[in-house]
Amino acid sequence: MRQLLALVLGFFSTLSNAQYCTSGGPSSTADSNIESVSLVGDASSIVLSSNCPAQTGIQNLTSLSASLAAGSNYTFDVTFGTCGGNYAGAGEAWIDFNGDGNFDPSESIGTWSGTPPAAVVNMNFNVPAGLTNGNTRMRVSQQEAGSIPLDPCAAFQWGNVIDFGITLTGGIDCSAYIGDDMADAVQISSLPFIDTNDNSFCYSNKNLVYSSPDIFYRILPISNVGSVTATLCGSSYDTFISAIKPDGTVLAFNDDDVNCGNQSTITFTPTANDTIFIVVEGWGNASGQFILNVTSSLVGLNELKADPFVVFPNPAKNEIRIDHFSGNIGVYDFLGKKVLSKQVNTNETIDVSDLKSGTYTIQLQREGNHYVKRLFVQ
C-alpha cells in the first residue's frame, strides 16, 4: 500500500466543494475589453453589451445564464474589442461541462487571436452527450499580448475576464442520487452493511485528497460501538477509502490494488456517540463500480435497526408525532450534532419549530434496541 499520510492529513483538514479559480484576470481597466456576448440557449439565453472601462479581476456575471441540452450544437458570439489602444492579443471561452470546478483544455469552445477592434467571433460548439444535469459555469477571457491556448486562471495586466452561468439539461438526472457530500450522505443505519455503487456519474469531488468523484456514507451516532471495519473493492480501478469525523479529523485511510489484488481495509474505533463518515473515491481521477462492506466487532451496533414506527407529518414544519412509540429520542443534524433530546410517550406531539430547514436523523431507543428515521423539516 502506498503511504499517503502527509497528503491525506493536508487535504482532509478542509472538506469543501471544488472552487473556481478567482485569483487572476487583468490588473488594469485600460485597453482590451470584451464588448459583447450572445449565447442563445433553449429556455434561457445570455446577451450582454459591456461598457468601458473593463473591470479588473474576474467579473462574476453567473446570474446571466443560458440553458444548453446535452448532445446539441450551439453558437457563442463574442466581440473582443478595446477601451483604448488597439493592441494585439487573444481570446478564448470555456464551459465546465463536467462540473468539476475547473476549465480543462478539452472544455474550450472557441478561440480568437488578432488586433481589436474585431468583428464578431462565432464559436460553434457541441455539448457532449451523457453529461449530468445541473448548473455550471462559462468563462470568457481576452488577454492583451496573449497567445492561444490561454490560461483561464492567469493574472495579467490588460484585458477582460467574465464568468457566466450555464444550466445543462437533457443529460443524466442526479436528483435521486444521495451521498455527494456530508449533508446528503448515505445513511448506514445497521451493520453489517453492503453497498454496490458507481461514482463515475452524478457524484462530484468534495473530498480533496484526489480529483476523483467521491461518495459519503454516514454511520449514525450510537454508544458502545466497538471497532468498525470497512472493506472496499473497485471493479477495475484503484480505489481509496477513509474514515473521518465531521471536522475532517482522519481516523483511518487505505487504498487497494487494481482488481482487488489486495482489498482495501480500514479498522477504527470511534468514541461513543461519534458521527463518522466513510468516504469512497478513486485513486487519482479514477471512477467506476465498487463494493463497500462495513461491519462491527460488537453486537450493539449490529442491533441498530430500521425504524418500524411512523413519523408524521414528514416533511414537517412545527411539530411531529411518532406513532406507536414511547421511549427516548435524539434528533441529529447532518453533522451528527444532537439538536433535540426527549422522553416521549405514545403519540405525543413533539415540537420541532426551532429546527432549521433541512434533513435530520431521529434515533429512537426503547428496551435496549435502536431505531433510526430520516426527518425533513421545511
The side-by-side arrangement of strands in the sheet containing 304-306 is 304-306, 369-377, 358-366, 327-332, 338-344
pLDDT in tens, 18-32: 479 987 899 988 888
Q: Give me Rg for the CA atoms of the chain.
A: 25
Cell numbers describing residue 244: 473521518
* CATH for 71: 2.60.40.10
Q: Is residue 42 part of a domain?
A: yes
156 lies in the same domain as 185? no
Is 3's pLDDT higher than 70?
no
Strand partners, 183: none
| Chain segment 179-217, per-residue pLDDT in tens | 888 888 888 877 778 887 888 878 888 776 777 888 999
Looking at the structure, do residues 269 and 356 belong to the same domain, yes or no?
no
Claim to verify: residue 237 and residue 314 sit in the same structural domain: no
Whole-structure pTM value? 0.60
Residue 255 sits in the same domain as residue 314: no
At residue 317, the pLDDT reads 87
Same-domain status, 135 and 44: yes
pLDDT of residue 308: 55
Q: Is residue 4 part of a domain?
A: no
91 vs 144: CA distance, rounded Å? 9
The residue among 277, 302, 327 that closes a domain is: 302
Q: 162 forms bridges with which residues in the sheet? A: 59, 140
Q: Which CATH number does the domain housing residue 264 bear?
A: 2.60.120.380
Q: Which residues pair with 265 in a beta bridge?
A: 231
CB within 8 Å of 183: residues ≥ 6 apart:
334, 358, 359
- Report the pLDDT value the prediction gives residue 15, as an integer from 0 to 100: 39
In whole angstroms, what is the distance from residue 113 CA to residue 149 CA?
Answer: 10
Between these two residues, 272 and 81, which has the higher pLDDT value? 81
Same domain, 163 and 182: no
For residues 141 and 112, give the distance between their C-alpha atoms in angstroms, rounded to a whole number: 10
Greater pLDDT, 225 or 158: 158
Domain termination residue (choose one: 302, 319, 353): 302
Alpha-carbon gap, residue 302 to 366, rounded angstroms: 16
Question: What's the CA gap between 355 and 359, in Å, rounded?
Answer: 10
Give the residue among 138, 107, 106, 142 at the shortest CA–CA distance from 25.
142
- How remote is the C-alpha of 269 from its chain's centroid? 28
Range of the domain at 163: 25-169
Q: How far apart are CA 159 and CA 151, in angstroms?
A: 13
Out of 169, 204, 236, pick the residue that ends a domain: 169
